[in-house]
Amino acid sequence: MEDEAALAADIFDHSLSPTNSRGAELGEGDGPTIIPEDRIKMLEETISHLNADFGSQRATFKEIYLKKEEELATERKEKDDLSVKIRNLQEDLNEAKSQVTIAQFTKENEIEVEKSRYQHDLTSMRVRFEEKLNSVRAKYEDEIQQLKATNLKLELNSEHQSHHHHHHHSTSTPNSSSSNDGPGAMFSSAVTNLARKLTPGGGGGGSNDSLLEDGNKSKQQQGQGKYAYEDAEILRSLVVQLEEEVSALKEKLRHSDDQLATVQGAQASLVKGNDALTHLFEGEDVQGVLSHFDDKLRHARSGLEAEKSSRADLEMYVAFANAQKTLLKDELDKVKLQLREVRASYEVEKKNHEELKETWEKANEHFVSTHNEYITVINQYREILTTDQLDALRSKSSSLDGSVGVVSIVETSLLKEAAPITPCQECQKYQEDSEKLRNDLLKAAKLRNEMEADWFRISHDFQSKLGSLEEQIGTYEVVLLELNTSCQQSMEGMEHTIKRLGYDRESIQRKIEKLEAENDILKGKHVAHSLQLQNEYISLPNDIMAC
């Protein structure tokens, strides 16, 4: 292009130089400048070369334009695919949200069902507990009545035995120790039998002193061995019966002592409990006191059951919140990954668009510069060519390949006194092509702006969705923190309650141990009394008298 411009400038300078005699002659007048034939041929060749160069550049530009159109179509297709993917992802996200909502409603319904079931079980357990409490109360009242009756009977028996023992020691005759049953009757019968056998009607008379005094009698000497053996047998049977009776009396006395200790311990406990209850509920009836204790027990049991059920519900809700948090985190990670992919594709698309824009701008600048140079050359031709030369160029340019009537356009424009100037067809064609290219560039710019607006809107939507998801995650984290705090507080409350119950249990255990120690002390006293009674010496009469 620089060579062609230099050639055109050379032609222009040569046509105006004073060395040309004809041009000088014409310059003296006012006629047009005459150019030699070789210059005309050179100009025609230059025009042909320019037309060919313009055609090749136009073909190259068209090829570039078609290639960019294909790239633009490909990018549009990719954009449509990305839009479809985004729409599918949005549908999947809505479906996941609906599933989460359904799962949440399902869990709430299950929690309500479990609460109702727990309430029903609590009611049934409360009814069974009240029935059991009533039965235990009735049983304990019956046992108390039985223990009172047994205590009364044992007191009467103890008084009777004390009176009988005192009467036995105060009398000295054998008949004074007789009673309906017991060791006195057995001992009395044994002594009576022995005395009967030792009387004169029984085969021997007198005592041991009388036998020694009458030792000279032969009859008594012969029966002495027989009487001694019989006496030993009688005494042995008497001792055996006495030992058996003493063992039976000891066993009965031990059993009576045990019953007496049990009754005394129960009486002491009842007296202490009665005093405490009387002091605590002074001025109230027994039914009111029992109702008060029942209410306290029922309230404590209901509180424990409520804490147990609330703890189970809280654990279930915490597990559900953790599962929902995990699901939302996974969904957020997926959305972030998709957003990064979309951003990467957007950056690639933006880079390609910038390259396309730069290519279009370069092509447009090149086309405009070429067109301006071509117009400049044509204007130079208009100034130097005459009418005859234009006719000759018209006749020659009609036979040239690729020529489109440039000379006729220049000729018509240079006619000073001819008809009005007609527009150049080739210039019009170039102008139309340039307008078409300009329109295409405007369309491409508009499309680029639309794509940028769409991508900006999509990125803004993703940013807003990402912000909403982050806010939702923050809300869930706050709810989870509150749940953890409430759960920790509940656990601390339960631990405090368990510690308090442990302290109460230890205090009750100490009281029980104290009562057991007192009971053991009382048992030891009664055992000592029983051993004293067992080891007490029984004074038998020295003389056995006949009944």
- Per-residue pLDDT of 139-175, as tens digits, reads 777 877 777 787 777 777 767 766 665 555 455 444 4
When pLDDT is averaged across residues 393-415 and rounded to a whole number, the result is: 49
* pLDDT recorded at residue 224: 59
Top mean-pLDDT range of 39-43, 283-287, 524-528: 39-43
pLDDT over 80 at 183, yes or no: no
* pLDDT recorded at residue 29: 41
pLDDT tens digits, residue range 436-460?
777 877 887 787 788 778 777 877 7
At residue 72, what is the residue type? L
pLDDT over 70 at 98, yes or no: yes
* pLDDT recorded at residue 284: 58
* pLDDT recorded at residue 275: 62
Is residue 260 packed enough to be buried (19+ CB in 10 Å), middle (13-18) or exposed (0-12)?
Answer: buried
* CB-CB contact of 342 with 454 (8 Å): no
Q: What is the pTM of this model?
A: 0.24
Distance from C-alpha of 133 to C-alpha of 290, rounded to nearest angstrom: 11
Using the 8-state DSSP alphabet, how is residue 205 labeled? -
* pLDDT recorded at residue 416: 42
Q: How far is CA 144 from CA 110, 140, 264, 292, in A?
A: 49, 6, 13, 21
Ordered by start, the domain boundaries in the chain are 1-34, 47-102+304-499
Q: How many helical (H) and strand (E) elements, i.e. helices and strands, does the chain have? A: 11, 0
pLDDT tens digits, residue range 19-75?
443 343 334 344 445 667 787 888 888 888 888 888 888 888 888 888 888 888 888
pLDDT tens digits, residue range 335-348?
778 778 877 877 88
pLDDT tens digits, residue range 219-234?
555 555 666 667 667 7
Using the 8-state DSSP alphabet, how is residue 70 labeled? H
Banded model confidence at residue 367, pLDDT cuts 50, 70, 90: confident
Banded model confidence at residue 113, pLDDT cuts 50, 70, 90: confident
The answer to which of 112-121, 303-312, 365-374 has the lowest mean pLDDT is 303-312
**Backbone conformation region of residue 420, classed left if phi is above 0, alpha if psi is from -120 to 50, else beta:** beta
At residue 75, what is the residue type? E
Q: Which CATH architecture has domain 47-102+304-499?
A: Orthogonal Bundle (1.10)
pLDDT over 70 at 412, yes or no: no
At residue 425, what is the residue type? Q
pLDDT tens digits, residue range 486-499?
777 877 887 888 88
Looking at the chain, the whole-number percentage of residues with pLDDT higher than 70 is 58
CA dihedral 417, 418, 419, 425 (to 10 degrees): -120
pLDDT tens digits, residue range 470-516?
787 778 778 778 877 877 787 788 788 888 888 888 888 888 888 87
Nearest Cα to 180, choosing from 188, 170, 172?
188
* pLDDT recorded at residue 209: 46
pLDDT over 50 at 401, yes or no: no
* CB-CB contact of 378 with 425 (8 Å): no
Using the 8-state DSSP alphabet, how is residue 33 labeled? P
Q: Helix, strand or coil for residue 422? A: coil
